[in-house]
Amino acid sequence: MSDPTGDLTAPTGAGRGRGGAGDREAPQDVRREVPQGALVLIGPPGAGCRSVAAELVAPGARCRDLEAVTAARLAVDPALAHVVVAEEVYRQAEARAAVELLEGARPGDALALGSGCLTSPAVLRALDALRARGGTVVALTAQARSLARRNGLDAPRSVALGPVHRTFVTLLRQREALCRDLADAMVDTTGLSASRTAQLVREKVVLRRQP
């Protein structure tokens, strides 16, 4: 499922995990600072990885979206990839593409990785190597209701969607736990625009690197 492009709209969401609500408030100059090293965004479907990555990419750097790269290599429409490609085939292609993106990431790049590839040992090794080069991994999340809405699973009183919604919530909890364990910082995107979320990501990353 794709990330939202714009419904990420008002109250701030408190980040969790290692970058939780107890973080210091960033001064104005820190909020404008561009984090050094590549930034990798992970998170469940609908968390906003793609749209936030587009806000975070440094001037002259690259914004890379794993879902789009994987679909291109499989020669399918990204919106239909999970329908027309067998799950195992898709995940293998996704993991290979993720490793290549992580290994090729340069300072200032922003990578939208999502969460489907995070069970691959090769991807986990590539994440560790990126951290060793000064990169940072940030997990995005949101309340289950917001994620369901962003993924089109909020139809009112739909009996047909009941099993699908339960499956989605189960997947969401599994993916969130995995992302929390892998992230250097976490940001809740509930009610936030992509630009506001990007600002919070910058604050957490910059403050984390300060002595």
- Please write the tens of the pLDDT for every residue from 180-209: 999 999 999 999 999 999 999 999 887 676
For 110-165, give the DSSP string: EEEEESTTTT-HHHHHHHHHHHHTT-EEEEEE--HHHHHHHTT---TT-STHHHHH
pLDDT tens digit sequence for 1-51 = 444 434 563 333 333 333 333 333 334 444 445 557 899 999 988 899 999
Mean pLDDT, range 96-115, rounded to an integer: 96
Among the residue ranges 90-94, 155-159, 177-181, the one predicted with the least confidence is: 155-159
pLDDT band of residue 165 (cuts 50, 70, 90) is: low
To the nearest 10°, the Cα dihedral for 16, 38, 45, 115?
A: -90
Q: Check the CA dihedral 174-178-181-187 and report its sign.
A: negative
Q: What's the token pair of residue 24?
A: 């210091």
